Amino acid sequence: MSLSPLPRTLTAEDAAHFLRRTAFGASDAQIRALVGQDARTVAKAALAFDQTLAQGNPFDPLQGASPGASIQLTRGAWLYELVYGPHPLREKLALTWSNHFVVGTDKVRNAPALAGYLALLRRHAASDSFERFTLEIAQSPAMLRYLDNDQNRKGRPNENFSRELLELFTTGIGPYTEADVREGARALTGWTYVGGRGNRQYLDEPKFVFQAGQFDGGRKTYLGQSGNLRGEDIVRLATAHPATATFVARKLHRAFVADTPDEQAVAGSAETWRRTKGNVGAVLEELLSSEAFYTSRARIIRSPIEFIVGALRTLGQPQFDAKTLLNLTQTAGRMGQLLLEPDTVKGWDGGREWINDSTLLLRLQVAAGLTLTSKAPNLSEPPSLLAMTGQERPAAAVLLSSLKGRQRTYLGMISPEFQLA
């Protein structure tokens, strides 16, 4: 059964909740602008993003003097887009997909490959075809390099991508066998890329190629289907498997509803996924206007990036110089989330894993730097309690209301209500 829609128009707390989940945070004016609107209308508008990027981004990865420098500039450019870009939901989804279709800069050290990967995540952020999204990811030089399918040749199959396609990208563990992994690898032989290899070519653009001479053209059986299967067939069969709907829907619920999702609600989204044949945009539109979404409050621990970006967007997107933004990407890394460098191929675990004594102290330091120090942005009109906590009258309202702007904003930013979305 599909998810039930929210039966009322948005209250102020509903609007704050929506923007904390879909835009990392928002100003009071942005919150008030949604009050009284229909939930479906609000979700549709948020999902109607294009590929426009923020103006004035100071980071150009192609200006990096080394692969490492170029990667740092790539991270800075993405943080700038997250904070100042016109489409925060697109960037939230790109961040979510980067933790699903994982690549890492420990192996992918080519600037155009990383740019192409990020462009794919943005273009397919709310894709109407998960199959096409997965196929383009599979053929991207970044993924080909990261999971070694560029080394997958007839007679010498490399199973890395074939395994993760099933285990991490589509069905999840359970619905497939080791034989499926081996047969999938055979079907994916010959997929590689040319250009952009090695530290000296880190600015050269790599391109996907199919090397027919390296393709294993024999008969294969994969997920119950037999024939002279090719790579495109493998992606189609994996993405169309019934288990994929539940597996990926659960990922979306973890990103937007709860660190530990309600499985009945996940099943509702999975049903919509199957009915629409993997239309991610349709699943998201229903999810982000559902009663399940609006009744799930304070059930997601903000990741380091979400904490930093949420703080800056809630403060009204104050301008920072390039050095400060680069420092913030490194601070996020020390808190456990270095952009484009997840811990493992399965991505960041998230949830309670984001919080420990060390990372919590760093959050306090970031909050202090943004509110109390001499370099903190001007807070002539500090955020309201609604913007900071998602509640018009939080439990600490009496205490917070008695404090001055900077102190109140600092305490609001380190409060449990701000750490949770």
Taking the C-alpha atoms of residue 57 and residue 63, their distance in angstroms, rounded to an integer, is 13
Integer CA distances (angstroms), 372 to 53, 282, 322, 378, 405, in order: 31, 43, 21, 10, 10
- For the ranges 63-77, 238-252, 270-284, 378-392, which has the lowest average pLDDT? 378-392
Beta bridge pairs of residue 1: none
Mean pLDDT of 87-109: 98
pLDDT at residue 396 tops 70: no
Q: Report the mean per-residue pLDDT for the chain.
A: 96
Whether pLDDT at 327 is above 70: yes
So what's the pLDDT on residue 397?
65
Binned at pLDDT 50, 70 and 90, residue 382 comes out as confident
The structure's pTM equals 0.97
Rounded to whole angstroms, the Cα distance separating 222 from 184 reads 7
pLDDT reported for residue 147: 98
What average pLDDT does range 286-311 have in this prediction?
A: 98
Calpha distance 45→107 (Å, rounded): 37
Tokens of 374: 């001499």
* Integer Cα distance of 82 and 90 in angstroms: 9
**Which three-class secondary structure state does DSSP give residue 411?**
helix
Average pLDDT over residues 305-332: 97
| 195: helix, strand or coil | coil
Average pLDDT over residues 244-267: 98
The phi-psi region of residue 339 (left if phi > 0; otherwise alpha if psi is between -120 and 50; otherwise beta) is beta
- For residue range 129-181, list pLDDT tens digits in order: 999 999 999 999 999 999 999 999 999 999 999 999 999 999 999 999 999 99
Tell me how far apart the alpha carbons of residues 44 and 47 are, in angstroms, rounded to a whole number.
5
| Per-residue model confidence (pLDDT) at position 30 | 96
The CA distance from 101 to 121, in Å, is 9
Q: Given this model, what pLDDT does residue 27 score?
A: 93
19 Cβ contact list (under 8 Å, min separation 6):
25, 26, 30, 31, 34
329-351 mean pLDDT: 97
Q: Please identify which residue in the block is written with the tokens 């479906």.
A: 40
Give the pLDDT score at 181.
98
Residue 297 · residue 17 · CB < 8 Å: yes
392 pLDDT band, cuts 50/70/90, is confident
- Alpha carbon distances (Å) from 75 to 61, 78, 330, 359: 9, 5, 9, 20
Give residue limits of the domains in the chain.
61-240, 304-419
Half-sphere exposure of residue 230: CA atoms within 13 angstroms, side-chain side? 10
Read off the pLDDT of residues 175-193 as tens digits, 9 standing for 90 and up.
999 999 999 999 999 999 9
The C-alpha angle with vertex 21 and arms to 16 and 27, in degrees rounded to 5, equals 40
* Residue 398's pLDDT band (cuts 50, 70, 90): low
Lowest mean pLDDT among 27-31, 124-128, 399-403, 413-417: 399-403
Mean pLDDT in residue range 241-254:
98
